[in-house]
Structure 1
Amino acid sequence: MEEQGVGWIAAIIIGGIAGWLAEKFMKSDMGVFMNIILGIVGAIVANAILGVFGIVLGGWLGYLIAGFIGAVILIWVGRLIRR
């Protein structure tokens, strides 16, 4: 995360916001800690997926967008597995 210009504290804050936005978008109820985890892991997942297509999102806004996209994907996959 340091390479993208986002430190650990910023990653936690942005990850929490991204996870919260994804939680509201997907009408899910996860909690603050899970929102942070979903946002951070979601950003990693989304950056990996987007990287395959040659799309690179950097900085605070890029991390927020990637975190939101990735968290939505993770919530969706979690729902598929539970069913």
Structure 2
Amino acid sequence: MSHWLYSLIIGGIAGWLAGIIMNGTGFGLLIDIVVGVIGSIIGSWVFGLLGIHSGGGMIGSIIVSLVGAVILIFIIKQIKK
């Protein structure tokens, strides 16, 4: 149960930060969480391909999720053009 809560909190923080970086504002709590959680999956995959290890912990998880969320938002923006 606590793993899911941890994932939602990290996802929310990463999605909100990615929204600020890419748009200047967040997307709202629910969308920020979704973007962050999907970003976590993308970030873990990208970091794994590059052989980079985040070191674990909350800060490492936020960084990985943030990078993945920024990539996700960038791809979505390119598709919408």
TM-score w.r.t. structure 2 length?
A: 0.87
Note the 1:67-82 alignment, pairs <5 A: 67-82=65-80
Give the counterpart letter for 2:68 in structure 1.
G
> How many matched pairs?
78
Give the counterpart letter for 1:14 in structure 2.
I
Per-residue CA deviations over 1:19-63 (Å, capped at 9, x if unaligned) read 001101111552211100111110110111110111122221111
Equivalent position to 2:15, from 19, 32, 36: 19
Matched residues, percent identical?
40
5+ residue gaps, structure 2: none
- The aligned residue for residue 32 of structure 1 is 29
Looking at structure 2, the residues matched to 79 and 23 of structure 1 have their Cα atoms a distance apart, in angstroms, of 12
Per-residue CA deviations over 1:49-83 (Å, capped at 9, x if unaligned) read 11011112222111100111111111100000001
5+ residue gaps, structure 1: 1-5
TM-score w.r.t. structure 1 length?
A: 0.85
Could you say what secondary structure the match of 1:14 adopts? helix
